[in-house]
Amino acid sequence: MSEFLLETKGLTHEYARPGGAEPLAVLDGLDLQVREGEIAALVGPSGCGKSTLLNILSGLDRQTGGAVTIGGAGSVAYMPQKDLLFPWRTIEDNAILGLEVGGLKKKDAREQVRPLFAEFGLAGFEYAYPAQLSGGMRQRVALLRTVAMQRPVLLLDEPFGALDSLTRTQMQLWLAETWQRHGWTIVLVTHDIREAVFLADSVHVLTPRPARVARRVEIELPRPRTVDTFGLPQFATLERELLGVLTSGDVG
C-alpha cells in the first residue's frame, strides 16, 4: 500500500488547438505525492498548469497520459478561485449545495452543516445573503461548503487570492488553526510564497508550461502555526529558498 493518499505519476496533458495547429502541452510528466493529513502547496509561474492539474485531480478534466491515484474513498472536494456563491440563496443554502447535488435531501443537508457554522465564524449569518458578507466571510462559506462534502482530499485553488492583504493574513491564520483541529489533506494552489510557507508541510515548485515538479521543499516549521511563525528565522530562510528556485534556471 502506498504511503501517499494522493499521487500522480508521469502526468501529461495537452489541449487541442484549431486549424491543425500543434496541441498545447500543459503538463509534462508531472509527479506529485501527498501524504494523508498533509498540506501540499503548489507554486509556479502564471499559466504553468496549476489549475489544470486541479481540474484533473477533481475529475473535471482527463489527463492525456500518466496516472492519478487517490486513496480513501478516491474522491476530492474542489474549491475554485472564486467563491461562486449564488446571490439568491441564503448562506446556509449555499453551504449545502454540494450535498444537495450529491443527492442528500435539503433537510438532512442543513442538519449536517449547521454544527460547522460556529467553527467557521459564521454563526448568526445562516440566513444572510452573500451580498451582506465581507470577502473573507464569503471565502469561509465556500470552504465550509467544500469541507461539508466530507471527501478525503480538499483541492483549494487560490482560495484567498482576491482578498486584501490584512484579510488574507487573517484567513491564513484561521485556516492554519482550523486545519490543526481536523488534519485535512489539502492540495493548495497559490502564487504567494509567504502563504505557501506558512500553511504547507511541503511546497512543490512547478516549472513553466508544460509543467513538471522541479523541486519539493519540506516545510519543517513547528505547529501549531501562529502569527509568531512569520517572524521565525527559518521562515525567512524558506521564503528565500523558494524564491531562489522560482527565479533561477532550476525551474526551466
pLDDT along the chain (252 residues), means of 10: 87 86 90 96 91 92 93 83 92 94 92 92 95 93 92 92 89 93 94 96 95 95 95 96 82 56
Among 67, 75, 69, which Cα is nearest to 1's? 69
So what's the pLDDT on residue 15? Answer: 87
So what's the pLDDT on residue 71? Answer: 85
So what's the pLDDT on residue 112? Answer: 92
Is 49 a member of any domain?
yes
Is 184 a member of any domain?
no
Is 38 a member of any domain?
yes
So what's the pLDDT on residue 251? Answer: 59
Is 250 a member of any domain?
yes
What does the DSSP assignment read for 179-243?
HHHH--EEEEE-S-HHHHHHH-SEEEEEPSSSB-EEEEEE----SS--GGGGG-HHHHHHHHHHH
So what's the pLDDT on residue 250? Answer: 56
So what's the pLDDT on residue 47? Answer: 86
Is 26 a member of any domain?
yes
CA pair distance 140, 120, nearest whole angstrom? 6
So what's the pLDDT on residue 17? Answer: 83
Q: What is the CATH number of the domain that holds 24?
A: 3.40.50.300
CA pair distance 19, 129, nearest whole angstrom? 46
Q: How many domains does the chain have?
A: 1
So what's the pLDDT on residue 18? Answer: 83
